[in-house]
A and B are shown apart, each in its own frame.
Chain A
């Protein structure tokens, strides 16, 4: 089955620790995205990548880092510099044709800081 997978589904972190959230897609999509979702605030863009080995900051990149070494993978690291990391994190990807422009989402990872 083609799709986007995120792991783990639930993640607990102690304050001061870095954690990495996984996102993998087998849709052969060029672009990938990370969003943060908080109750009542919709989705906010953290980072996005339009091609391998390239990525751009979104609206709330501080305290986060990413890499895009492979087309299929776009891991997100939540660093200790992120002051309020407890949230639901969503990964998405988009195909190469601008005529569709549709983003497809993974199932999400819920991060809780203890």
Chain B
């Protein structure tokens, strides 16, 4: 079955410390991968996406993610956290050769920043 797992429901980090939010997926077919960010009472905003090509993807707000097919992972990282990064982050996967046009979302990781 196809699924997305975000291993950590909450990740606390100190301001200026590095951030890593983990995402693993399960699929027997090729995938597209996404990270979205959600601030309280707002919609989801696309941070970055992997469709093909370079496995290291850079996004907005200094975030990047690396697609590792052998590990079926797409972890999100940032070298130095800012207070404004506090939000919920969702990993998602879609299937480019599927006619269903659906995206599967992980359950989310809440990132909190300590001063």
A11, B32: Cα distance in complex, Å? 35
State A13–B63 Cα separation when bound (angstroms).
40
Report chain B residues within 8 Å CB of A104.
46
Given the known interface contacts A100-B51, A101-B51, the answer about A43 and B101 at a Cβ–Cβ threshold of 8 Å is no
Contacts A40-B9, A48-B101; is A102 near B107 (CB within 8 Å)?
no
Q: Is B67 an interface residue (CB 8 A)?
A: no
Measured between alpha carbons, how far is A41 from B90 in the docked complex, in Å?
A: 11
A98 to B44, CA, bound (A): 20
Main secondary structure of the interface of A (DSSP, over half): strand
Produce 1/0 per residue, B67-101, CB < 8 A to A: 00000000000000000000000100010100001
- Once bound together, how far apart are the Cα atoms of A110 and B41, in whole Å? 8
- Residue pairs across A and B with CB atoms within 8 Å: the count is 50
Q: Select one of B34, B49, B90, B101 contacting A42, CB under 8 A.
A: B90
B 9-25 binary contact with A (CB < 8 Å = 1; else 0) = 10000000000000000
Tell me the nearest residue of chain B to A103, going by C-beta: B103
Contacts beyond the supplied A105-B44, A107-B43: 8 A-B pairs with Cβ under 8 Å = A6-B43, A42-B106, A45-B102, A88-B41, A90-B44, A98-B96, A101-B103, A107-B42
- B2 at interface by CB-CB < 8 Å: no
Is the CB of A106 closer than 8 A to any CB of chain B? yes
A102 to B9, CA, bound (A): 24
In the complex, the answer to whether A101 meets B90 with C-beta atoms within 8 Å is: no
Return the contact of B43 from the options A40, A99, A108 (Cβ within 8 A).
Answer: A108
Contact code string A16-58 (vs B, CB < 8 Å = 1, else 0)? 0000000000000001000000001111010010100000001
Inter-chain contact A48/B107, CB cutoff 8 Å: no
In the assembled complex, A94 has its CB within 8 A of some CB on chain B: yes
Q: Mark A74-114, 1 if CB is under 8 A from B, else 0.
A: 00000000000000101010100011111111111010000
